[in-house]
Chain A
Amino acid sequence: MDSFWQWVAGAMLTVVLGIALGKHSKDISLVLTMVVCCMILLAAAVYLQPVMEFVKRLQTMGQLDDGYGQILLKAVGIGLVTEFAVLICNDSGNSALGKSLQIAATVVVLWISLPLMESLLDLIERIMGGI
């Protein structure tokens, strides 16, 4: 829990340093921001791990086909990473890149969830046939 305060302090520090560097070399300032974002997300992901373990435990208790949970998990992962990249792009003023990344991520998530949608459609078809 102490590390949370460290993150906040580190972020504030980075903002100031970024502004100081930004006057002369915008590129290094940007890289600095990226590195700090990365570190914060890394630290946060470590805290996310027990939550994921808990969710996994819930899934196994439900004794269900793990496929659905897996797909959703992957989609969340893609979403997180894309969020990070898009924010960096927008920050540096390159919003076109950010938007393209968003579109790409949307498409990939849809592609990942194809098996889910197919099995759902199969189920509905089976039910319709049975009526």
Chain B
Amino acid sequence: MKKVLLLIFLIFNLAQPAWAMDYTAPTVPDSGADLMPAQTETFSQGLSKVLGKAIGLISPSLAEAAGVCLSLVGIVMLHSVLQTMPTDVKKVISLVSSLAIAGILLSRTSSMLSLGVKTIRELSDYGKLLLPVLTAALAAQGGVTGATALYAGTAVFDTILGTAIAKLLIPMVYGYLILAIAGTATGSERLNKLRDLVKSFVSWCLKIIIYIFTGYITITGVISGSADATAIKVTKITMSGMIPVVGGILSDASEAVLVGAGVMKNAVGTYGLLAVLSVWIAPFLQIGAQYLLLKLTGALCATFGAKEPSQLIDQFSGAMGLLLGMTAAMCTLLLVSTVCFMRGVG
């Protein structure tokens, strides 16, 4: 009698709901649709397909970026002709060449920045669609506490990061650029220091948010995961031990259901990962190409001996670098949380 009561008590307390529902990941938004591979077997295969297509897509923007850099070199060559001028005229012509460089680069940088903001917004929206599906799938596999904690954390950080980038960090990047232009044009040390301060603040913000998020994920993911894994193990042992004759069969069946839900969740997770990557990768490569080319141009111009124009070009490439960091942060947030969901209950 006692045994039966104990069995009933254990079953009610430890049995976790496990059913294999039909989970489909939300469809990838249009911007990534070209890059998604038609069939995804494993994650690494899908990844190489996405990368291949993305690299093919960026060649026209690469040509445009190269053109911009060439005209910059032309301007700096003209500037270097002026090194022998009398001082007053040299200063003014230096100012004019800095302004010319600024004019060329500012419109280009501005379009890159809007591209970055658009990508981040798309990633954020897609995450809001993907995460509930993953949460439900993980909960179905038995990790309810883990799923809820993971979902809550990711949603909060998603919102924080997205809002911080759109409302605070991108305007600060513009401020950084304008300070750089003004600082180079007037040669004022104070403006230069202010500009460096703005840049450090932006990178510090990004790092803090990502560190806190990763820490949160690690802590909650590990603890919730292992608690639920233990619960499932205990359920299975109890079922096979206590229930005579059919206990073993039932426990095997439950494991099959759990594994099936796990596979389903992983297919959803893989598709989600590839979708996030395909939305993110083409803009990232475009911005990255511009960043590298600008850095190269700055180094080349420094060899002409034109110190100030090459510094200005370097600062513009720094702004591109900040933008890369922001898009990568958003992408990392979604990828890390998706992988945690996929890792599931341990």
Contact = CB atoms under 8 A, between A and B. Distances in A.
Contact flag (A, B; Cβ within 8 A): yes
Interface of A: 51, 54-56, 58-59, 61-64, 68-69, 71-73, 75-76, 78-80, 82-83, 86, 102-103, 105-106, 109-110, 112-113, 116-117, 119-120, 123-124, 127-128, 131
Contact of A83 (B86, B95, B181): B86
A47 B107 CA distance: 35
A106 to B, nearest CB: 5
Contact of B96 (A55, A82, A105, A113): A113
Contacts of A117: 99
Contacts of A123: 103, 106-107, 110
Contacts of A83: 84-86, 89
Contacts of A103: 88
The 4 A-B pairs with the shortest beta carbon distances in the complex, nearest first, are: A62-B71, A58-B74, A68-B100, A62-B67
Contacts of A75: 92-93, 96
Given A116-B100, A117-B99, A124 B78 contact: no
Contacts of B73: 58
Contacts of A119: 103
A110 B89 CA distance: 10
A131 B170 contact: yes
Interface of B: 64, 67-75, 77-79, 81-82, 84-86, 88-93, 95-97, 99-100, 102-104, 106-107, 110, 170-171, 174, 178, 181
Given A62-B69, A71-B96, A76-B82, 13 more contacts: A61-B67, A63-B64, A64-B104, A72-B79, A75-B96, A76-B78, A78-B89, A102-B86, A102-B89, A106-B88, A113-B96, A117-B99, A131-B174
A43 B27 CA distance: 69
B96 A58 contact: no
Contact of A116 (B67, B70, B99, B181): B99
A102 B74 contact: no
A71 B86 contact: no
A82 B89 contact: yes
Given A82-B86, A82-B89, A113-B99, A72 B75 contact: yes
Contact of A124 (B85, B88, B104, B178): B178
B82 A62 contact: no
